[in-house]
Structure 1
């Protein structure tokens, strides 16, 4: 009985710390007096929790506010410098690693391009290890300040084994890859700094739901549109998927029986018609010509330029235009399946290809999705582009250790568990706000950023 009571008190203190931290993080700065009604805690509990968090270095003063007839009240906020996070996006054209402060303000980044033969497991692990070392060095950050490293990957995650997250990435040739244990062996990090691995579409979805176009929405679908396609399903505010995490594999929905061969080996998958890799193949089959030596992203740019030339005197290429319209129809049809199945309030399209193609195909995607959907669920949904830009997966990956940090009341040495954290309230104030403003919409360049080169040709950006 004594042990049970001790455990209950510990859990209550952790829950109180979590409540205060989350409220200050997403709604702060806020006074002690305002924290009581906002969290439902007594004034005594608030004072105790605030004192603990301040002693741990997690809070800082953020000015004062006048009160009605009383003394000015000190405002508090979560200290951005009290910890750091790393987000990793194992994409299909590059591995991107970003270092953030606790408010998700970017401190440094590294990018390492991938070729079609770039999915060798050892190469990916080395890229991640090198990138982590590079951003820590560029950001002048002591690794002891890290709260964790989040990693977004293509494929299905299995967390049931003793070695941590195992990745089943059929389209990239990964079969039961023990990525978490490989990273722990390859990356030298302080004891207690964990890796948090999830599907890239789900990482993107969490970022958009917390800080982007999904804020305030309970039922949503976030589409990751790159070389392949995937989706994050959010129902009643919770991202769908359990220990065997297959909910992001929407791209392998069959849309054409005995259709085109997909990268996964099956025929007729949605990805075989909408992924940028398949899009470029279809353009070439129809007579289109890729620029010599072009990588996937620049080839998509060339396709868009052919279909929508900037020069008023140049006629649009009808072949390129037809390929884009067909892509929009398949994407709209695939989205209609999600609309009919889940009845979301909002569908957001992100990923580098989605943001690049979106301004040109979004109206057609909306029209096709409405035409293929049932009228009632189609009548409540909006379809838009994501707001966090092409590196939203790294932001989402960084929220994985951040969510764990909140769930354990700001403790850095918490036991391994998978606890969920509710999405932020509308009053959030983090580094992501300036990120959205700087982006100026999908595909926009950021200002005030310097670039350099790290080891092995790594591109490093410090802001």
Structure 2
């Protein structure tokens, strides 16, 4: 039992956090609207927003007409109060983006990881270098950066320093945070890439307004973020959402995880290209695009894509039956490429396989944030920390250099 008493400081931080959350997600809004959205009194809203304006966190953003009387002043989080960086760490590339607090991208750095299973040291070096290049490219002072969010493949084990487990590429308890921290002093926030995609879509994209949703990420591998009652489900050790490693064919194709018949072994980009067999030029993204394009001329490619739509439909039906979401969002670079062509067929198969009533309550749609959703979601991790702290900047973390 927690016997700690709530202090005035606790209440103040909670109020600041509640107001900042609404300003960030719904701004610009008036003080009257903030009172309605948060349930805080008009006096509390006025006092707290006055503090936040004095500290430079919040700024006035114009006027809106009221129903009689003077126009109301609109407030918003100051986009220039600080900057955040989001990193999308995939098995084949590292994409780094720097945003202001309006989530406008100011700099982007994209670097390939190289062929074969990614080396942890190489990935960490690419992340640290991408952060430095993004800061320089945006021409902002490093001390103005609130933190670096990193969305990574595999399971993120939280502790004093985050460890990454990704058996599909041979990573077992890789100390990725410590490796990256050797190259940067900025605060680091690390989570699974499907979960950062889900957070971005919940805040800004196809998940807005939903309380129960599943966000499916299909790239080289396959994962998902499960949001229930507005909160991302983590599980005992943060590995919840490994949708790609749920079996859909008993004794089926071997999967990179060591199992057989996993969904990823049929719909992941790497597995899909392996199933096609024909040589295609370019990197993985270019080859998948060529395969999709070939379906208009090749019966074999068309048949393969129809099978893939079937497997995705079955996988989505399983999500419907297990979690009863109101929304399922298909994203990731491969998910978007496949979904743009196959979504009607995916919905058709899902409808045939899912229980009728929960399926009737679930909308199935594509990500609205495109291939940048993982990096954007990762960038919201330091923002979530800023909001939780009531607008106070996080302390600078010591580098191990």
SS of match in other structure, 1:217: coil
SS of match in other structure, 2:21: helix
1:16-415 to structure 2, matched below 5 A, reads 16-117=15-116, 119-159=118-158, 161-162=159-160, 164-187=161-184, 189=185, 193-242=186-235, 244-284=237-277, 288-291=278-281, 294-308=282-296, 316-413=297-394
1:377-456 to structure 2, matched below 5 A, reads 377-413=358-394
- Which residue does 1:448 correspond to in 2? none
Structure 2: distance between partners of 1:146 and 1:399: 13
* Structure 1 residue 222 displacement after superposition: 0.8
Contact 2:336 2:366 in 1 (8 A): yes
SS of match in other structure, 1:405: helix
SS of match in other structure, 2:248: coil
For residues 185 and 323 of structure 1, do their structure 2 counterparts lie closer, same or farther at Cα, with a shift above 3 Å needed? same
Deviations 1:364-395 (A, max 9, x none): 11111111212222222221111000111001
Structure 2: distance between partners of 1:173 and 1:296: 20
SS of match in other structure, 1:107: strand
Gaps of 5+ in 2: none
* Structure 1 residue 118 displacement after superposition: 5.3
* Structure 1 residue 186 displacement after superposition: 1.9
* Structure 1 residue 41 displacement after superposition: 2.3
For residues 300 and 181 of structure 1, do their structure 2 counterparts lie closer, same or farther at Cα, with a shift above 3 Å needed? same
* Structure 1 residue 4 displacement after superposition: 6.3
SS of match in other structure, 2:394: coil
RMSD: 1.9
Greater displacement, 166-175 / 236-245 = 236-245
Structure 2: distance between partners of 1:297 and 1:58: 40
* Structure 1 residue 66 displacement after superposition: 4.1
Structure 1: distance between partners of 2:310 and 2:32: 54
For residues 260 and 35 of structure 1, do their structure 2 counterparts lie closer, same or farther at Cα, with a shift above 3 Å needed? closer
Gaps of 5+ in 1: 309-315, 417-463
For residues 33 and 302 of structure 1, do their structure 2 counterparts lie closer, same or farther at Cα, with a shift above 3 Å needed? closer
Structure 1: distance between partners of 2:202 and 2:31: 28
Structure 2: distance between partners of 1:230 and 1:37: 37
Structure 2: distance between partners of 1:139 and 1:243: 39
Deviations 1:135-167 (A, max 9, x none): 0000011111111111001111111x33x2111
Normalised TM-score (structure 1): 0.82
Structure 1: distance between partners of 2:111 and 2:65: 50
Deviations 1:328-349 (A, max 9, x none): 1111111111111111111111
For residues 358 and 69 of structure 1, do their structure 2 counterparts lie closer, same or farther at Cα, with a shift above 3 Å needed? closer
Aligned residues: 395
Contact 2:252 2:261 in 1 (8 A): yes
Greater displacement, 369-378 / 217-226 = 369-378
For residues 4 and 390 of structure 1, do their structure 2 counterparts lie closer, same or farther at Cα, with a shift above 3 Å needed? closer
Structure 2: distance between partners of 1:228 and 1:202: 14
Deviations 1:229-253 (A, max 9, x none): 1111111221111461111211011
Deviations 1:313-335 (A, max 9, x none): xxx21100111111111111111
Contact 1:408 1:414 in 2 (8 A): no
* Structure 1 residue 64 displacement after superposition: 2.5
Deviations 1:85-127 (A, max 9, x none): 0000001331000000011111101000123325101100010
Contact 2:187 2:394 in 1 (8 A): no
* Structure 1 residue 44 displacement after superposition: 2.9
